[in-house]
Amino acid sequence: MKKIMAWIASLTMCATALTAPMQSAIPVKAETGDYNYAEALQKSMFFYEVQQSGELPDWNMVTWRDDSMLTDEVQGGWFDAGDHFKFALTNAYTASMLAWGYLEYGDAVKKAGMEELYKNNLQFGLDYLVNCDLGDSVVYMIGDNFDHQWWGSAEVYMRKYKLMKQEDQRPFYTCEDSCINAQMAAALAGGYMIFKDSDAKKAEEYLTHAKDLFKRADTVRETGMNDEKEHEFYKPTTFYDDLFFAANFLYMATGDQAYLDKCANEYINNLGKEEQSSEMKFTWGHCWDDTMQGAMLLYAKNTGDSQWKEQVKKHLEYWTTGYGGKQVSYTPDGLAWLFQWGSLRHATTTAFLAKVAADSIFADDDTLAKKYNDFADRQMNYAFGDNDLNMSYVQGMGENNPKTFHHRTASGIHDDHWQSLGLDESEAEGWQTEYAHTLYGALEGGPDKDGSFTDEVGAYRFSEVAIDYNAGYTACLCAMMDDYGGEILENFPEQETPKWNEFEVAAVIQQNQANYTQIQVWAMNHSAWPARVVKDLSYNYYFDVSEILEAGLSIDDITVSIGYDQHASDEGALTASKPIQYDGNIYYVKLSFNDGRVVMPTGQSEHRAEAQIRIAIPDQINGQSTAGMWNPENDYSFQGLQEGGQDLLKMPEAITPYITMYDGDTLIYGVEPDGTKPDNTTPKPTDPTTTEASSDPAGSETLRYGDVDDNGEINILDVVLANRVYVGIDSLNDKQKKQGDVDGDLKITLSDSMQILRYLVHLIDKF
């Protein structure tokens, strides 16, 4: 890769030399650390967009997500982990860390071209915090234990919730709690500093809420007041650390010395102490429950006082080589291992504190700065694969990720049988083993103290992902980019295509008699791109009436009946049409759900709707037997069906494409008798540089993207010409302009030159 990039740089200089002496070179990827930290940050933003609840913003890049939880008391916010709870505490902690990372290293984020992406995601979290602030209390939790009892996608959560609880809204809980309020205040003060120059109105809103939340937190000075519902999941142990943390953020936002005075006079003496000691605590790590160490670093920066710099040093020494006879544990392969839950979360968050300290309060101490920077680099790179397992614990980064992760929506499970995820098919007894989606950017919990990793979806402390796990890690990525650069992926994310049929039909023959055929049918919804329900759902069964007409019978002699309907007593009841002509002697009966949303990917009994359908002619007409006049062997939908019952119906061989399924009038599954298939795939072009442009009324023209000079080839001369056009030396005709605009921004820039170079050296295979 380094040789390729060196060649690109060389070509770039040659191309630029042919333009104008004052023109700077095409920007190229600089020498970086061991990994592409910009790509990692880009993917971490993807993870946060996966976690979005409510109505998704138009900039959400996750094509397999859709709106969800639209009846929540407070819309928006991030789902907490692989479940669908929303906690103000972890949303606030996460937003505070993302804000802090940007405040320290925003220039690196901007340089990588991710300013808008980062700010969008941060603002999404901050706006939720604003809406959770009710003025006299805070909505601290939305959801209940049902979330941990059921496994499925966010988009259909409320369908299942309504089915099981007969309620249209999830429960929500309010309280006044100093930990929650203070962390919300810290995050919103950080948001004020970030947005004050670009969106003054929004920034002032953040600051107003931050001040009010801090005042209430400081007045209440209580942990756990009336928020007992949350304590099963998150139970804060103290609040002075959070007041300390928020006061420092508010000082930075306002310059008001009163906030630092509160730290000195009221908070510091009440901060945690080492066990059985009066010494101020320097062990443990910065997290949602203990913000003391991060707050101390901010306080040391804000005051410049050597006493607090020394306190920060104690903490970082504990995490590196030890202090006062105490040192964090280390795995044999080098991870600073604090705790069994989220071991990588703690290591990468401390890595962020180490980076900030090295770049600020210890910047004039080369030895300490190097020590803490090296520690941070090792911990971050451990997460990307520098470990004895060669395992990248960040999903979608590197080639060897854990095969399991604990995340409901990303799994795409339709039948709630999630325990089989990641198993070999031979172990899964026919249940789904494959994840529907790649959960790009999610940091998994991490290894055990001995460096081992239990790669099982149910091993929560290893395979869990969470917004707070990614928080300090994301902040540290900003620091890594500041040190080493990086390059975002230009075509990320790629459009996912379904790995299985989202809708399908299975059928078996129950009875095949002289004057009727009875089949048992499962109409199934296994959607995950995104998970969804279809109200106007139906399926067609096709049959040939030639032999009936030849026997002198008419279409009116054919009857269709439903012997069993799983939803006969509810809103999804099936109705059967009379025979409808398809083409010639081919007819079909349409089985329509009154409300097809009852067929939903939410559980073993809901993902398929069972029915028994009989198509028959009378036993006799005018006293004459009709035996032998009915012959299903030439029926389109009969082909391939086998005789059997439920056991066969569950097997793959029962799936039939000859019974077609519809969303309204749109075919969504199967093949009609004339060969018509669902229009849900886009064929790949044979040449990734060409496309057909049909805007010309006289016809269409073939464009070969990258062929700027339009000579039929793509080579370095196209790069040279693009550069010359960019600086005004040459001009292009309309077709050349189209072919040169490979990044699609409707103009020829250095970005186009760079993409063509990347194509020439096979770093990308399409524009």
Domain membership flag for residue 766? no
Is residue 687 scored above 70 in pLDDT? no
Amino acid at 475: A
- The encoded tokens of residue 93 equal 């902690």
Beta bridge partners of 337: 329
Domain membership flag for residue 16? yes
Could you report the per-residue pLDDT of 303-356, keeping only the tens digit for each? 999 999 999 999 999 999 999 999 999 999 999 999 999 999 999 999 999 999
Closest CA to 494 of 133, 9, 63, 102: 63
pLDDT for the residue 758: 72
Q: How far apart are CA 591 and CA 560, in angstroms?
A: 10
For the question of residue 406 being annotated catalytic, the response is yes
Which of these is catalytic: 104, 464, 557, 635?
464
Residues in the chain: 767
Residues 286, 268: one domain?
Answer: yes
What confidence category does residue 498 fall into, taking pLDDT thresholds of 50, 70 and 90?
very high
Which of these is catalytic: 286, 346, 406, 567?
406
CATH number for the domain spanning 402: value is 1.50.10.10
Is residue 720 scored above 70 in pLDDT? yes
Residues 274, 130: one domain?
Answer: yes
Which of these is catalytic: 115, 212, 455, 456?
455
Residues 348, 466: one domain?
Answer: yes
What confidence category does residue 745 fall into, taking pLDDT thresholds of 50, 70 and 90?
low
∠ CA 401-406-411, rounded to 5°: 85
Could you report the per-residue pLDDT of 631-671, keeping only the tens digit for each? 999 999 999 999 999 899 989 999 999 999 999 999 999 99
Cβ(537)–Cβ(514) below 8 Å: no
What confidence category does residue 697 fall into, taking pLDDT thresholds of 50, 70 and 90?
very low
Which of these is catalytic: 39, 80, 83, 230?
83
Least confident of 61-65, 489-493, 548-552, 744-748: 744-748
Pick the last residue of a domain from 669, 698, 724: 669
Give the H/E segment covering residue 362.
none
Q: How far apart are CA 764 and CA 767, in angstroms?
A: 8
pLDDT for the residue 15: 42
Q: Distance between terminal CA atoms of the chain?
A: 20
Residues 639, 727: one domain?
Answer: no
Closest CA to 339 of 349, 348, 329: 329
Residues 518, 588: one domain?
Answer: yes
- The encoded tokens of residue 280 equal 């101020």
Section 353-378 average pLDDT: 98
- The encoded tokens of residue 716 equal 């370095």
∠ CA 530-533-538, rounded to 5°: 125
The number of beta carbons lying within 10 Å of the beta carbon of residue 645 is 10
pLDDT for the residue 760: 82
Could you report the per-residue pLDDT of 121-177, keeping only the tens digit for each? 999 999 999 999 999 999 999 999 898 899 999 999 999 999 999 999 999 999 999
Residues 436, 555: one domain?
Answer: no
Residues 647, 755: one domain?
Answer: no
Q: Could you give the number of structural domains in the chain?
A: 3
Least confident of 2-11, 118-127, 603-612: 2-11
Is the dihedral angle over the CA atoms 372, 378, 379, 380 positive or is it negative? positive
Q: How far apart are CA 728 and CA 749, in angstroms?
A: 11
Percent of the chain with pLDDT over 70: 92
Could you report the per-residue pLDDT of 407-463, keeping only the tens digit for each? 999 999 999 889 889 988 878 777 889 999 999 999 999 999 999 999 999 998 999
Q: How far apart are CA 503 and CA 651, in angstroms?
A: 16
Domain membership flag for residue 498? no
User: Is residue 276 left, alpha or beta, with left meaning phi > 0 and alpha meaning psi from -120 to 50?
Assistant: left
Residues 718, 578: one domain?
Answer: no
Cβ(166)–Cβ(108) below 8 Å: no
Is residue 385 scored above 70 in pLDDT? yes
Amino acid at 435: Y
Phi, then psi, of 452 in degrees rounded to 5: -80, 160
Is residue 32 scored above 50 in pLDDT? no
Residues 552, 585: one domain?
Answer: yes
For the question of residue 83 being annotated catalytic, the response is yes
Q: How far apart are CA 526 and CA 521, in angstroms?
A: 16
Residues 527, 469: one domain?
Answer: no
Section 196-216 average pLDDT: 98
Give the H/E segment covering residue 140.
strand 138-142
Residues 467, 510: one domain?
Answer: no
Section 40-57 average pLDDT: 98
Residue with more model confidence, 260 or 693: 260
Pick the most confident of 598-607, 619-628, 718-727: 598-607
Which residue range forms the structural domain that includes residue 321? 37-484
- The encoded tokens of residue 561 equal 């009946």
- How many Cα atoms occupy the beta-carbon half-sphere of 647 within 13 Å? 2
Q: How far apart are CA 410 and CA 64, in angstroms?
A: 9
Pick the most confident of 122-126, 233-237, 624-628, 757-761: 122-126
- The encoded tokens of residue 72 equal 């929540």
Residue with more model confidence, 278 or 681: 278
Q: How far apart are CA 187 and CA 214, in angstroms?
A: 11
Residues 520, 380: one domain?
Answer: no
pLDDT for the residue 680: 67
CATH number for the domain spanning 638: value is 2.60.40.710
Residues 6+ apart with CB under 8 A from 687: 704
Domain membership flag for residue 341? yes
